Amino acid sequence: MKNALKAFGLIALIAVCGFSMAACGGKSSSGIYDTWADKDGNTFTFRGSTGTIGNINKGSGWGAVLNTGWINNGQEVFRNIDRLTDSQWTATHYTYVGGTYTNLVWSRCTLTLSANKQTLTVYCQDISKKFDLTRKN
């Protein structure tokens, strides 16, 4: 009987911990902390207060920046990510300006999550640049 109570208590403890982790952390489709892709297939992964770029498509604008040596796969291109609401965040974004791909700046931006949570719109206020990212499944 004593062993059965211990086993039941252990199972209950594991269940409580599991539900707590699911509710308070980990990967969630309701936020931005996931991997996203732009129209050219470049990926952006958000974790904590930063976001990195990966799988840079050599035929895209980011590919041109990669060729100049100003950026690398896995490099931080979003920082200071701060949640405003359940569907909006602010951040600074390291991005290129113009067609030379050598003029890179940190720009203040707003990230807005669509109602279906599958599109993240990035708007960089300082340079009036706007683009969409699609959640990768």
User: Rounded to two decimals, what is the model's pTM?
Assistant: 0.76
Q: Name the stretches of the chain with pLDDT < 50.
A: 5, 7-10, 12-13, 15-29
- Render pLDDT for 76-113 as a digit per residue (tens, 0 to 9): 999 999 999 999 999 999 998 877 788 889 999 999 99
Domains of the chain, start order: 32-135 (2.40.128)
| H or E element that contains 50 | strand 50-54
Show the 3-state SS of 5-45: HHHHHHHHHHHHHHHHHHHHCCCCCCCCCCEEECCCCCEEE
